[in-house]
Amino acid sequence: MNISPDIVGNEFAEVSIRIDDEANSRRLRVEDLKTGRVRFLDALELETIVWLPEGNLRRLLDPSSDRWREDA
């Protein structure tokens, strides 16, 4: 089944999201519309994001930690 993606965006980022059924289990497909980079997140990874303490999530959101590095 092919489900149309939804777009989530703000002044800092814009991503396309959809449910992917091509793996062993359903997962979330997230595509950065600026770079075309794609990440698949399974249920465990999504649950981990939900349970992350606020400080850990802020460190992930810091663009200087990974996004601006050339080796990322």
Query: Is the pLDDT reported for residue 13 higher than 80?
Result: yes
**67 — pLDDT class (breaks 50, 70, 90):** confident
Distance separating alpha carbons of residues 37 and 52, to the nearest angstrom:
23
Query: Per-residue pLDDT tens for 29-66?
Result: 999 999 999 999 999 999 999 999 998 888 888 877 77
Higher pLDDT: 14 or 56? It is: 14
Q: How far apart are CA 19 and CA 3, in angstroms?
A: 7
pTM of the predicted model as reported, rounded to 2 decimal places: 0.78
How far is residue 48's CA from residue 69's CA, in Å, rounded to a whole number? Answer: 24
**60 near 49, Cβ under 8 Å?**
no
What DSSP assignment string belongs to 49-64? HHHS-HHHHHHHH-TT
